[in-house]
Amino acid sequence: MKNILICLFSLSIFFISSCSQDPNKITIKGSIANPVSDELVFNFPDTSYEARVDANGNFKITLNQDSAQYVTLLHGERTRMFIKPGDNIEVYFDTKEFDETMTYKNSPESSFLAYKLISAEERDFYGKSLYLADKVSYELELENYKTNLMQRLDRFENGYFKSTEEKSINASVERYLKRKESFSDRTEEELLYLWETSKLSKEYNFYGLLSTLNRAEFDENLIEYEKKMNSALEPLKKLNNYEKEQGKITKIVASWRERKDDYDNMPKDGDMSIDFSYPNISSEMISLSSFRGRLVYIDVWATWCGPCIAEIPSLERLQKDYENKDIVFLSVSVDTDKEAWEKMLTEDQLGGVQLWADGWSQITKSYAIFGIPRFMLVDKSGELIAVDAPRPSSNEIRSMIDERI
Protein backbone atom coordinates (compact mmCIF):
# COMPACT_ATOMS: atom_id res chain seq x y z
CA MET A 1 0.00 0.00 0.00
CA LYS A 2 2.85 2.36 0.88
CA ASN A 3 4.54 1.67 -2.46
CA ILE A 4 1.29 2.34 -4.31
CA LEU A 5 0.86 5.70 -2.54
CA ILE A 6 4.46 6.67 -3.37
CA CYS A 7 3.87 5.80 -7.03
CA LEU A 8 0.61 7.77 -7.12
CA PHE A 9 2.31 10.74 -5.44
CA SER A 10 5.17 10.63 -7.96
CA LEU A 11 2.75 10.46 -10.88
CA SER A 12 0.77 13.41 -9.53
CA ILE A 13 3.95 15.49 -9.19
CA PHE A 14 4.93 14.59 -12.77
CA PHE A 15 1.43 15.46 -14.03
CA ILE A 16 1.40 18.85 -12.26
CA SER A 17 4.90 19.64 -13.49
CA SER A 18 4.00 18.70 -17.07
CA CYS A 19 0.83 20.74 -17.02
CA SER A 20 2.63 23.78 -15.60
CA GLN A 21 5.11 23.92 -18.49
CA ASP A 22 4.14 26.56 -21.05
CA PRO A 23 4.21 24.94 -24.53
CA ASN A 24 4.69 28.38 -26.13
CA LYS A 25 7.75 29.24 -24.07
CA ILE A 26 10.95 29.88 -26.06
CA THR A 27 14.35 30.30 -24.42
CA ILE A 28 17.30 31.74 -26.31
CA LYS A 29 20.64 31.98 -24.54
CA GLY A 30 24.30 32.05 -25.49
CA SER A 31 27.44 34.12 -25.57
CA ILE A 32 29.02 36.74 -27.81
CA ALA A 33 32.75 37.18 -28.34
CA ASN A 34 33.76 40.84 -28.68
CA PRO A 35 30.27 42.27 -27.99
CA VAL A 36 29.69 45.76 -29.41
CA SER A 37 26.99 46.77 -26.91
CA ASP A 38 25.16 45.52 -23.83
CA GLU A 39 22.09 44.38 -25.72
CA LEU A 40 20.98 41.88 -28.32
CA VAL A 41 17.80 42.58 -30.29
CA PHE A 42 15.32 40.06 -31.69
CA ASN A 43 13.05 41.62 -34.32
CA PHE A 44 9.74 39.90 -35.01
CA PRO A 45 7.38 40.94 -37.83
CA ASP A 46 5.27 43.05 -35.45
CA THR A 47 7.50 43.71 -32.42
CA SER A 48 11.00 43.36 -31.00
CA TYR A 49 12.65 42.19 -27.78
CA GLU A 50 16.00 43.04 -26.19
CA ALA A 51 18.25 40.67 -24.27
CA ARG A 52 20.80 42.12 -21.86
CA VAL A 53 24.41 41.14 -22.64
CA ASP A 54 26.58 40.96 -19.51
CA ALA A 55 30.27 41.84 -19.16
CA ASN A 56 31.28 38.32 -20.23
CA GLY A 57 29.15 38.44 -23.37
CA ASN A 58 26.47 36.10 -22.01
CA PHE A 59 22.76 36.64 -22.55
CA LYS A 60 19.43 34.90 -21.99
CA ILE A 61 15.89 35.77 -22.97
CA THR A 62 12.55 33.99 -22.55
CA LEU A 63 9.77 34.64 -25.05
CA ASN A 64 6.23 33.45 -25.54
CA GLN A 65 5.17 32.70 -29.12
CA ASP A 66 2.32 30.51 -30.28
CA SER A 67 3.63 29.92 -33.82
CA ALA A 68 6.83 29.14 -35.69
CA GLN A 69 8.34 32.16 -37.42
CA TYR A 70 11.43 33.91 -38.73
CA VAL A 71 13.22 36.34 -36.43
CA THR A 72 16.01 38.83 -37.13
CA LEU A 73 18.88 38.82 -34.63
CA LEU A 74 20.71 42.16 -34.37
CA HIS A 75 24.00 42.89 -32.64
CA GLY A 76 26.27 45.09 -34.74
CA GLU A 77 25.26 43.05 -37.79
CA ARG A 78 22.10 41.05 -38.40
CA THR A 79 21.08 37.52 -39.34
CA ARG A 80 17.90 35.47 -39.54
CA MET A 81 16.77 32.73 -37.17
CA PHE A 82 13.78 30.42 -37.18
CA ILE A 83 12.06 29.68 -33.87
CA LYS A 84 9.24 27.38 -32.77
CA PRO A 85 7.14 27.22 -29.59
CA GLY A 86 8.99 25.13 -27.00
CA ASP A 87 12.46 25.83 -28.42
CA ASN A 88 15.46 26.02 -26.08
CA ILE A 89 18.13 27.52 -28.35
CA GLU A 90 21.79 28.31 -27.72
CA VAL A 91 23.57 30.90 -29.89
CA TYR A 92 27.29 31.66 -30.15
CA PHE A 93 29.12 34.13 -32.41
CA ASP A 94 32.04 36.53 -32.65
CA THR A 95 31.24 40.06 -33.85
CA LYS A 96 34.58 40.24 -35.67
CA GLU A 97 33.50 37.35 -37.91
CA PHE A 98 29.76 37.57 -37.54
CA ASP A 99 28.38 35.25 -40.23
CA GLU A 100 31.37 32.90 -40.22
CA THR A 101 31.08 32.11 -36.50
CA MET A 102 27.28 32.06 -36.10
CA THR A 103 26.52 28.74 -34.37
CA TYR A 104 23.27 27.34 -33.00
CA LYS A 105 22.37 24.42 -30.75
CA ASN A 106 18.87 22.92 -30.65
CA SER A 107 17.75 24.92 -33.70
CA PRO A 108 18.44 22.97 -36.90
CA GLU A 109 16.40 25.47 -38.93
CA SER A 110 18.56 28.39 -37.78
CA SER A 111 21.68 26.32 -38.46
CA PHE A 112 20.41 25.73 -41.99
CA LEU A 113 19.91 29.47 -42.52
CA ALA A 114 23.46 30.14 -41.33
CA TYR A 115 24.82 27.43 -43.63
CA LYS A 116 22.85 28.77 -46.61
CA LEU A 117 24.27 32.25 -46.11
CA ILE A 118 27.88 31.08 -45.83
CA SER A 119 27.47 28.66 -48.72
CA ALA A 120 26.39 31.49 -51.04
CA GLU A 121 29.20 33.75 -49.81
CA GLU A 122 31.84 31.07 -50.39
CA ARG A 123 30.67 30.45 -53.94
CA ASP A 124 30.52 34.21 -54.53
CA PHE A 125 28.02 34.04 -57.39
CA TYR A 126 28.20 37.82 -57.75
CA GLY A 127 32.02 37.67 -57.80
CA LYS A 128 34.68 36.50 -60.26
CA SER A 129 32.64 33.65 -61.75
CA LEU A 130 29.82 36.04 -62.63
CA TYR A 131 32.14 37.98 -64.93
CA LEU A 132 34.74 35.45 -66.09
CA ALA A 133 33.29 31.93 -65.89
CA ASP A 134 31.57 30.55 -68.98
CA LYS A 135 27.80 30.19 -68.79
CA VAL A 136 27.81 26.38 -68.62
CA SER A 137 30.26 26.27 -65.70
CA TYR A 138 28.38 29.00 -63.86
CA GLU A 139 25.03 27.24 -64.26
CA LEU A 140 26.54 23.90 -63.18
CA GLU A 141 27.92 25.46 -59.98
CA LEU A 142 24.52 27.01 -59.32
CA GLU A 143 22.81 23.67 -59.82
CA ASN A 144 25.21 22.00 -57.36
CA TYR A 145 24.55 24.79 -54.86
CA LYS A 146 20.79 24.37 -55.21
CA THR A 147 20.91 20.55 -55.04
CA ASN A 148 23.02 20.63 -51.88
CA LEU A 149 20.62 23.00 -50.12
CA MET A 150 17.51 21.12 -51.23
CA GLN A 151 18.94 17.83 -49.95
CA ARG A 152 19.61 19.39 -46.57
CA LEU A 153 16.15 20.92 -46.57
CA ASP A 154 14.49 17.53 -47.11
CA ARG A 155 15.45 16.55 -43.55
CA PHE A 156 13.07 19.09 -42.02
CA GLU A 157 9.49 18.32 -41.05
CA ASN A 158 8.14 21.84 -40.61
CA GLY A 159 6.10 22.44 -43.76
CA TYR A 160 6.11 26.24 -43.46
CA PHE A 161 9.90 26.36 -43.12
CA LYS A 162 10.48 23.94 -45.99
CA SER A 163 8.15 25.66 -48.43
CA THR A 164 9.48 29.13 -47.55
CA GLU A 165 13.09 28.06 -47.99
CA GLU A 166 12.36 26.23 -51.24
CA LYS A 167 10.88 29.43 -52.65
CA SER A 168 13.82 31.46 -51.32
CA ILE A 169 16.44 29.14 -52.85
CA ASN A 170 14.68 29.02 -56.23
CA ALA A 171 14.31 32.81 -56.23
CA SER A 172 17.98 33.40 -55.42
CA VAL A 173 19.12 30.98 -58.14
CA GLU A 174 16.83 32.75 -60.60
CA ARG A 175 18.37 36.11 -59.66
CA TYR A 176 21.91 34.78 -60.19
CA LEU A 177 20.94 33.37 -63.59
CA LYS A 178 19.33 36.62 -64.70
CA ARG A 179 22.39 38.57 -63.64
CA LYS A 180 24.66 36.21 -65.59
CA GLU A 181 22.37 36.43 -68.61
CA SER A 182 22.60 40.24 -68.54
CA PHE A 183 26.29 39.89 -69.48
CA SER A 184 25.65 37.57 -72.43
CA ASP A 185 26.29 40.26 -75.06
CA ARG A 186 29.49 41.54 -73.43
CA THR A 187 32.93 40.91 -74.95
CA GLU A 188 35.72 39.23 -72.97
CA GLU A 189 37.46 42.61 -72.65
CA GLU A 190 34.32 44.24 -71.24
CA LEU A 191 33.76 41.44 -68.74
CA LEU A 192 37.35 41.62 -67.56
CA TYR A 193 36.94 45.39 -67.12
CA LEU A 194 33.74 44.91 -65.10
CA TRP A 195 35.49 42.38 -62.89
CA GLU A 196 38.46 44.69 -62.28
CA THR A 197 36.19 47.62 -61.43
CA SER A 198 34.20 45.39 -59.08
CA LYS A 199 37.40 44.54 -57.20
CA LEU A 200 38.43 48.19 -57.07
CA SER A 201 35.08 49.19 -55.57
CA LYS A 202 35.68 46.73 -52.73
CA GLU A 203 39.32 47.78 -52.32
CA TYR A 204 38.40 51.47 -52.00
CA ASN A 205 35.59 51.55 -49.47
CA PHE A 206 34.89 55.26 -49.85
CA TYR A 207 31.85 55.16 -47.57
CA GLY A 208 34.16 54.10 -44.75
CA LEU A 209 36.91 56.50 -45.82
CA LEU A 210 34.55 59.51 -45.58
CA SER A 211 34.83 59.45 -41.79
CA THR A 212 38.37 58.09 -41.37
CA LEU A 213 40.43 60.25 -43.76
CA ASN A 214 40.97 64.00 -43.92
CA ARG A 215 40.31 65.82 -47.18
CA ALA A 216 43.85 65.55 -48.54
CA GLU A 217 44.06 61.83 -47.77
CA PHE A 218 40.62 61.22 -49.25
CA ASP A 219 41.52 63.05 -52.47
CA GLU A 220 44.76 61.08 -52.70
CA ASN A 221 42.79 57.82 -52.57
CA LEU A 222 40.38 59.14 -55.19
CA ILE A 223 43.26 59.97 -57.52
CA GLU A 224 44.69 56.45 -57.10
CA TYR A 225 41.24 54.95 -57.68
CA GLU A 226 40.71 57.00 -60.86
CA LYS A 227 44.10 55.97 -62.25
CA LYS A 228 43.43 52.27 -61.60
CA MET A 229 39.94 52.51 -63.11
CA ASN A 230 41.30 54.17 -66.27
CA SER A 231 44.08 51.58 -66.44
CA ALA A 232 41.50 48.77 -66.27
CA LEU A 233 39.56 50.53 -69.04
CA GLU A 234 42.57 50.75 -71.37
CA PRO A 235 41.91 47.41 -73.18
CA LEU A 236 38.52 48.82 -74.28
CA LYS A 237 40.07 51.79 -76.08
CA LYS A 238 39.18 50.41 -79.51
CA LEU A 239 35.57 49.71 -78.57
CA ASN A 240 32.69 52.10 -79.23
CA ASN A 241 31.71 52.50 -75.57
CA TYR A 242 35.20 53.50 -74.37
CA GLU A 243 34.40 57.20 -74.03
CA LYS A 244 31.07 56.42 -72.36
CA GLU A 245 32.78 54.29 -69.70
CA GLN A 246 35.47 56.92 -69.24
CA GLY A 247 32.73 59.47 -68.62
CA LYS A 248 31.21 57.20 -65.96
CA ILE A 249 34.53 57.07 -64.11
CA THR A 250 34.76 60.88 -64.14
CA LYS A 251 31.22 61.14 -62.74
CA ILE A 252 31.91 58.57 -60.00
CA VAL A 253 35.01 60.46 -58.85
CA ALA A 254 33.14 63.78 -58.91
CA SER A 255 30.25 62.33 -56.89
CA TRP A 256 32.65 61.09 -54.18
CA ARG A 257 34.28 64.52 -53.97
CA GLU A 258 30.83 66.04 -53.49
CA ARG A 259 29.96 63.48 -50.82
CA LYS A 260 33.16 64.26 -48.97
CA ASP A 261 32.22 67.96 -49.07
CA ASP A 262 28.79 67.12 -47.66
CA TYR A 263 30.29 64.94 -44.93
CA ASP A 264 32.88 67.52 -43.84
CA ASN A 265 30.31 70.34 -43.85
CA MET A 266 27.44 68.55 -42.13
CA PRO A 267 26.57 69.74 -38.60
CA LYS A 268 28.20 67.80 -35.80
CA ASP A 269 26.81 66.84 -32.40
CA GLY A 270 26.27 70.05 -30.44
CA ASP A 271 25.79 72.20 -33.57
CA MET A 272 22.49 73.79 -34.48
CA SER A 273 20.37 71.56 -36.66
CA ILE A 274 19.77 72.55 -40.29
CA ASP A 275 16.10 73.23 -40.87
CA PHE A 276 14.06 71.39 -43.51
CA SER A 277 10.44 71.42 -44.57
CA TYR A 278 8.41 68.71 -46.31
CA PRO A 279 4.72 67.87 -46.87
CA ASN A 280 2.74 65.39 -44.82
CA ILE A 281 0.10 63.08 -46.30
CA SER A 282 -2.34 66.01 -46.36
CA SER A 283 0.16 68.14 -48.34
CA GLU A 284 0.65 70.43 -45.37
CA MET A 285 4.25 71.72 -45.18
CA ILE A 286 5.89 70.95 -41.83
CA SER A 287 9.37 72.05 -40.79
CA LEU A 288 11.80 70.74 -38.20
CA SER A 289 11.97 74.20 -36.58
CA SER A 290 8.22 74.11 -35.87
CA PHE A 291 8.92 71.66 -33.05
CA ARG A 292 11.25 73.95 -31.06
CA GLY A 293 10.65 73.49 -27.36
CA ARG A 294 10.36 69.71 -27.74
CA LEU A 295 12.82 66.90 -28.28
CA VAL A 296 12.72 65.56 -31.86
CA TYR A 297 13.73 62.01 -32.84
CA ILE A 298 14.13 61.91 -36.63
CA ASP A 299 13.94 58.77 -38.76
CA VAL A 300 15.05 59.05 -42.40
CA TRP A 301 13.69 55.97 -44.16
CA ALA A 302 11.92 54.49 -47.23
CA THR A 303 9.32 51.81 -47.89
CA TRP A 304 11.80 49.83 -50.03
CA CYS A 305 14.46 49.75 -47.30
CA GLY A 306 14.51 46.41 -45.44
CA PRO A 307 16.54 47.61 -42.42
CA CYS A 308 14.21 50.63 -42.15
CA ILE A 309 11.12 48.42 -42.04
CA ALA A 310 12.78 46.16 -39.45
CA GLU A 311 13.07 49.13 -37.08
CA ILE A 312 9.42 50.19 -37.33
CA PRO A 313 8.08 47.87 -34.56
CA SER A 314 10.71 49.23 -32.15
CA LEU A 315 9.95 52.79 -33.24
CA GLU A 316 6.22 52.29 -32.73
CA ARG A 317 6.84 50.88 -29.25
CA LEU A 318 9.13 53.82 -28.45
CA GLN A 319 6.39 56.22 -29.51
CA LYS A 320 3.86 54.44 -27.31
CA ASP A 321 6.18 54.43 -24.30
CA TYR A 322 6.79 58.19 -24.63
CA GLU A 323 3.21 59.10 -25.46
CA ASN A 324 2.21 62.47 -23.97
CA LYS A 325 5.88 63.21 -23.23
CA ASP A 326 7.75 66.26 -24.52
CA ILE A 327 9.11 64.53 -27.62
CA VAL A 328 8.15 64.39 -31.31
CA PHE A 329 8.80 61.36 -33.50
CA LEU A 330 9.44 62.73 -36.99
CA SER A 331 9.79 60.29 -39.91
CA VAL A 332 11.02 61.58 -43.27
CA SER A 333 10.61 59.24 -46.25
CA VAL A 334 13.00 59.47 -49.21
CA ASP A 335 10.63 57.44 -51.38
CA THR A 336 10.18 58.73 -54.92
CA ASP A 337 6.99 56.67 -55.22
CA LYS A 338 4.52 58.79 -53.26
CA GLU A 339 1.71 56.25 -53.65
CA ALA A 340 3.82 53.49 -52.04
CA TRP A 341 4.56 55.81 -49.12
CA GLU A 342 0.91 56.83 -48.71
CA LYS A 343 -0.24 53.21 -48.95
CA MET A 344 2.12 52.06 -46.20
CA LEU A 345 1.19 54.96 -43.92
CA THR A 346 -2.50 54.15 -44.35
CA GLU A 347 -2.40 50.36 -44.22
CA ASP A 348 0.11 50.09 -41.35
CA GLN A 349 -1.32 53.13 -39.53
CA LEU A 350 2.16 54.47 -38.82
CA GLY A 351 2.31 56.89 -35.92
CA GLY A 352 4.30 60.05 -35.31
CA VAL A 353 4.75 62.89 -37.80
CA GLN A 354 5.20 61.48 -41.31
CA LEU A 355 6.76 63.61 -44.08
CA TRP A 356 7.64 62.89 -47.72
CA ALA A 357 10.99 64.17 -49.07
CA ASP A 358 10.53 62.87 -52.63
CA GLY A 359 13.92 61.19 -52.98
CA TRP A 360 17.42 62.12 -51.88
CA SER A 361 16.89 65.81 -51.33
CA GLN A 362 17.88 68.64 -48.98
CA ILE A 363 17.85 66.59 -45.77
CA THR A 364 20.16 63.90 -47.16
CA LYS A 365 22.62 66.49 -48.47
CA SER A 366 22.54 68.70 -45.35
CA TYR A 367 23.19 65.76 -43.03
CA ALA A 368 25.42 63.71 -45.40
CA ILE A 369 23.00 60.78 -45.45
CA PHE A 370 24.25 58.18 -47.94
CA GLY A 371 22.47 55.16 -46.48
CA ILE A 372 19.28 54.58 -44.54
CA PRO A 373 17.86 54.27 -42.01
CA ARG A 374 19.47 57.28 -40.35
CA PHE A 375 18.24 58.45 -36.97
CA MET A 376 18.96 61.85 -35.42
CA LEU A 377 18.09 63.38 -32.06
CA VAL A 378 17.54 67.15 -31.70
CA ASP A 379 17.13 68.93 -28.37
CA LYS A 380 14.47 71.47 -27.41
CA SER A 381 16.58 74.44 -28.56
CA GLY A 382 17.28 72.93 -31.98
CA GLU A 383 20.80 71.69 -31.22
CA LEU A 384 21.85 68.27 -32.44
CA ILE A 385 22.28 65.79 -29.62
CA ALA A 386 23.24 63.07 -32.10
CA VAL A 387 23.50 63.46 -35.87
CA ASP A 388 23.75 59.66 -36.06
CA ALA A 389 21.61 58.55 -33.13
CA PRO A 390 21.06 54.96 -31.89
CA ARG A 391 18.28 53.03 -33.57
CA PRO A 392 14.90 52.48 -31.85
CA SER A 393 15.81 48.82 -31.29
CA SER A 394 18.66 49.98 -29.02
CA ASN A 395 18.11 50.70 -25.33
CA GLU A 396 20.74 53.43 -25.67
CA ILE A 397 18.27 55.77 -27.33
CA ARG A 398 15.94 55.53 -24.34
CA SER A 399 18.74 56.63 -22.01
CA MET A 400 19.52 59.59 -24.27
CA ILE A 401 15.86 60.64 -24.34
CA ASP A 402 15.35 60.16 -20.59
CA GLU A 403 18.32 62.42 -19.81
CA ARG A 404 16.82 65.33 -21.73
CA ILE A 405 13.05 64.99 -21.67
Give residue-wise pLDDT tens across range 247-259. 999 999 999 999 9
Q: What pLDDT does 48 receive?
A: 76
CB burial readout 341-375, b (16+ within 10 A) else e? bbebbeeeebbbebbbbeeeeebbbbbbbeebbbb
- Among 44, 39, 38, 37, smallest CA distance to 312 is for 44
The CA distance from 283 to 278, in Å, is: 9
- Give the global pTM: 0.71
Q: What pLDDT does 20 receive?
A: 53
What is the fold of 22-104? Immunoglobulin-like (2.60.40)
Q: What is the SS3 assignment for 76?
A: coil
Identity (one letter) of the amino acid at 207?
Y
Q: Where are the domains of the chain?
A: 22-104, 124-181, 188-264, 277-404
- Measure Cα distances from 345 to 14, 96, 355, 359, 372 in Å: 51, 37, 10, 17, 18
Chain length of the chain: 405
Q: Given CATH 3.40.30.10, say whether it is the number of domain 277-404.
A: yes
State the number of CA atoms in the 13 A half-sphere of 60 facing the CB: 3
The CA distance from 40 to 74, in Å, is: 6
The CA distance from 2 to 99, in Å, is: 59
Q: What pLDDT does 21 receive?
A: 67
State pLDDT tens for residues 277-311. Answer: 999 999 999 999 999 999 999 999 999 998 898 88
Q: What pLDDT does 49 receive?
A: 85
Q: What pLDDT does 18 receive?
A: 46
Q: What pLDDT does 118 receive?
A: 95
Q: What is the pLDDT along the chain (405 residues), one digit of tens a residue?
A: 545 444 444 444 444 444 456 888 999 999 999 998 888 988 887 777 889 999 999 999 999 988 999 999 988 888 999 999 999 999 999 999 999 999 999 999 999 999 999 999 999 999 999 999 999 999 999 999 999 999 999 999 889 999 999 999 999 999 999 999 999 998 888 899 999 999 999 899 999 999 999 999 999 999 999 999 999 999 888 777 788 889 999 999 999 999 999 999 999 999 999 999 999 999 999 999 999 999 999 999 999 998 898 889 889 989 999 999 999 999 999 999 999 999 999 999 999 999 999 999 999 999 999 999 999 999 999 999 999 999 998 778 999 999 998
The CA distance from 189 to 136, in Å, is: 19
Return the CA Rg of the chain.
Answer: 26
> How large is the angle between the packed helices 395-404 and 306-321, nearest 10 degrees?
40
Q: What pLDDT does 1 receive?
A: 53
Q: Is the bond preceding 373 in cis, omega lying within 30 degrees of 0?
A: yes
Burial grade of 122 (CB within 10 A; 0-12, 13-18, 19 or more): exposed
- Among 54, 53, 51, 48, smallest CA distance to 72 is for 48
State pLDDT tens for residues 317-346. Answer: 899 999 999 999 999 999 999 999 999 999
- Among 374, 358, 370, smallest CA distance to 261 is for 370
